[in-house]
Structure 1
Amino acid sequence: MRNSLRRSGFTLVELLVVIAIIGVLVGLLLPAVQSAREAARRMACSNNFKQMGIALHNYHSTFKSFPQQMGGSHYTHTADSRVTQRLYLSGLVALTPFIEQQPLWDTISNPYDRNQDGVWDPGYDFPAMGPGPWWTSYPPWMTNVSTLRCPSDTGVGSPALGRSNFAFCVGDNIQLVHSGGRNERGVYQSGDINSSGANIKSRGTGESSSWSSLAKERNRGMFWSRHRTRMRDCVDGLSNTIAMGEIATTVGQNEIISELRLNVGTDVLTDPSYCNGGVDPLRPEFWLPNSAFAGNMGTGNQIRGGRWADGRIQYTSFQTIKPPNSFNCFAGNDASQGISSASSRHPGGCHVVMGDGAVQFISEGIDTGNQNAPPAYGGQPSAYGVWGAMGTRSSRETVELPF
């Protein structure tokens, strides 16, 4: 007699069914996992913003003012940016001791003697507070400070110097907010208000009271470049006024949220919708190629958020004109006037920290008023709705806040 052997196992059909079920479950679970990861990154980013809000208040308690955006030493007898910052340092530099970066601050605030031999080496040594914030041979400017980064932002490495996802709010206007109306000597020097880089590099010493008035009318944000502001200046209330906001840094993909469009001409100074023509209508998250619109993209380390120590509007400032996750578009080069927008890599909006230190997530669908209107100035209500009103410190607008 033969003993029949019976084999146990899965048939091919059963195996295929199991694989299909597993595939469906993975497909269902992956979006949830990715969403959970982004929620964790967004929470970490919010925590960093909270630390910045605390740092602003601690700085104000210590020095009775907020840190100056575009500070440092004045232009003197020489244009050598190795020995003077020419009023280009960002307010983030002054905040380093208040965000647990005391060693970095100690390096910046003392002369940098690479060889520690007490002998000035013009090739490598720098004075206290460092050189101009574009110097790649100065180690502090190349440092990536973790507190200044959002975990959701994937931009890393060169050609940037040290990157930052934090920027100061300079209001809802375009003209003169890039320099605050002062030149590299800290002087109100008159000129053509509609020129692309009016007054930012001029080094004359003659003060102009009329130019001072023009600058005061247009610099309506919590921060005023090359000036110090205080809590008492915020007549609209600290809880109603944005102090800082989030900006995305470039990953080299021609995105409107993280690429600078430069040299587009002076039309952008009075018409916020002008650069709409440079956005790809089929892919509105991206710019058209350079040849399809005026100007060109920033190159080298002239990139969004690519210099944490540089106070110019392209690197560490923004306006409440275009809604969050909009473009960055400038009349001239990286010392020119234009539109700098808040942005992030979080879906649907970006973080801001209010003057009272509260952190809010602002939707990119927030009311932005009439985007074809020229910017308001003086005591006029903002032309850009709730978003514009949140960016001004003393215009006394009555708005319904989105939170």
Structure 2
Amino acid sequence: MNSRRGGRGGRGGRGGFTLVELLVVIAIIGVLVGLLLPAVQAAREAARRMSCSNNFKQIGLSLHNYHSAYDQFPQESTGTYYFSPTSNQNSLSWIVGTLPFIEQQALWQQISNPLAQNSDGSVRTPPFPAMGPVPWDTNYTPWLTTVGAFRCPSDPTVGTAGQTGLSNYACCIGDAIQTTHDGGVNTLGVVTDPAVKSRLRGVFEPRHVTHFRDILDGTSNTLMCGEIVTDAGNLEINGQPKFNQQDPFFFDPQICYSDNVDPQRPQFWTDATDTGGADQRRGKRWADGRPMYSSVNTVRPPNKESCLWGGDGADGTLTMGSRHQGGCHILMADGAIRFVTESIEAGDQSRATLPKAGVPGEQSPYGLWGALGTKAGHEVKSLP
């Protein structure tokens, strides 16, 4: 007579895992997850980095198309002169001009025509003038808009409701500190510093028009734009500049770095003093043509300190940076996207930049990095 209560291998038995076998399987799964997670994270960052590169490529194409249409690059710090309180004080960024060339025609139409609507949806009488008010006016809806093509997917900072829109891409204004805030031209369009052209050596010159023909060093050897970190208010040196670093800052910029960087945490400032208000953050106000918001220079290597002589409308060191590991993307004048590391050769960092008197034709003191930022220095240096 056959028993209905057979053993594990019998006809009537039911197979199963022992506790030891189950623990071994769980351990193996845990090891595999531990091995795969870093690879997954790396793959995700690689995808974000590729997306960022594609965004920058589109911006490069928009600049080339703008030049094809108007025979010049969009101007950094432009707009309507300060003849009335409703003007934008000649303070719009280069990004505004690229909008129709980057599939943002609807936003461009709002800006380029009078807009009779406040940001809360109420009717405005009289309407905002064509080309809008000052770029920090939070009652103007276009300035509050964040355009996806201007954001790096690796940057986690999220905009605050009611504040101006964000951007991770800025134009290069050369290898100098001084007069980069207004290009020696005031808000009425009057030239106040005739010697400024000896210092403004980038593809973009604030309140001055530039063309492809000005790039004598070759478009493949000249940096046109670079990434910036959108500041989240946590005192990172590659995010928020240090304000009010007045003389002798122009003659020894190292004073700002040595006096204000936390020696225990060299990626952070020591305190929040002179780092601006909630809306005065690096990467905010994409429509603002003042250096802190939409410009970079090739003084400090990527992800290093930024320091300003005065407040958020002043000039200073405007460092590139990103949330990508070890460096940032740059856009060359020929439209190529390159990734530069924090260790790029940057010359004599103890040297102050070109003096206010101007030294026409002087070689950039910042090595390869500085040479890439100048368009006509006859320093034909290129990235490897």
**TM-score greater than 0.5 by the shorter chain:** yes
Partner of 1:121: 125
Partner of 1:371: 349
Whether the 8 Å CA contact 2:328–2:341 is kept in 1: the answer is yes
2:215 is aligned with 1:234:
yes
TM-score normalized by the length of structure 2: 0.92
Deviates most, 373-382 or 26-35: 373-382
* Distance in 1 separating the partners of 2:34 and 2:249: 46
1:297 to 275, 298, 301: 275
1:331 to 309, 330, 351: 309
Residues 1:187 and 1:335: Cα distance change in structure 2 (over 3 Å) = same
Please show how residues 112-261 of structure 1 align to structure 2 within 5 Å. 112-114=115-117, 121=125, 125-158=127-160, 160-189=163-192, 211-213=193-195, 215-261=196-242
Aligned length: 367
Find the residue that maps to 1:268 and give its secondary structure: coil
Deviation at 1:332, TM superposition (A): 1.1
Gaps of 5+ in 1: 190-210
Identity %: 51
Whether the 8 Å CA contact 1:174–1:270 is kept in 2: the answer is no
Whether the 8 Å CA contact 1:272–1:322 is kept in 2: the answer is no
* Distance in 1 separating the partners of 2:237 and 2:75: 28
Partner of 1:86: 89
Please show how residues 40-79 of structure 1 align to structure 2 within 5 Å. 40-76=47-83, 78=84
Whether the 8 Å CA contact 2:174–2:374 is kept in 1: the answer is yes
1:141-183 alpha-carbon deviations (Å, 9 max, x no partner) = 0001111111111111117511011100000000111111111
* Distance in 2 separating the partners of 1:230 and 1:358: 18
Partner of 1:265: 246
Partner of 2:11: none
1:312-347 alpha-carbon deviations (Å, 9 max, x no partner) = 100000100000111221121111121110110000
Partner of 1:199: none
* Distance in 2 separating the partners of 1:248 and 1:146: 15
Deviation at 1:402, TM superposition (A): 2.4
Which residue type is aligned with residue 57 of structure 2?
A: K
Deviation at 1:270, TM superposition (A): 2.4
Deviation at 1:18, TM superposition (A): 1.8
TM-score normalized by the length of structure 1: 0.87
1:105-125 alpha-carbon deviations (Å, 9 max, x no partner) = 01100000129xxx9615xx3
2:37 is aligned with 1:30:
yes
Find the residue that maps to 1:360 and give its secondary structure: strand
1:28-83 alpha-carbon deviations (Å, 9 max, x no partner) = 1111111111111111111111111111111111111100100001111x4x2xx1
* Distance in 1 separating the partners of 2:47 and 2:305: 27
* Distance in 2 separating the partners of 1:106 and 1:88: 19
Which residue type is aligned with residue 285 of structure 1?
A: Q
Deviation at 1:306, TM superposition (A): 0.5
1:16 to 23, 28, 31: 23
Deviation at 1:13, TM superposition (A): 2.5
Find the residue that maps to 1:261 and give its secondary structure: coil
Whether the 8 Å CA contact 2:236–2:268 is kept in 1: the answer is yes
Partner of 1:313: 291
* Distance in 1 separating the partners of 2:17 and 2:256: 63
Partner of 1:39: 46
Find the residue that maps to 1:108 and give its secondary structure: helix
Whether the 8 Å CA contact 2:221–2:380 is kept in 1: the answer is no
* Distance in 2 separating the partners of 1:156 and 1:343: 17
Deviation at 1:274, TM superposition (A): 2.1
- Root-mean-square deviation (CA, aligned residues, Å) is 1.7
Which residue type is aligned with residue 312 of structure 1?
A: R
2:320 to 320, 342, 346: 342
Find the residue that maps to 2:51 and give its secondary structure: helix
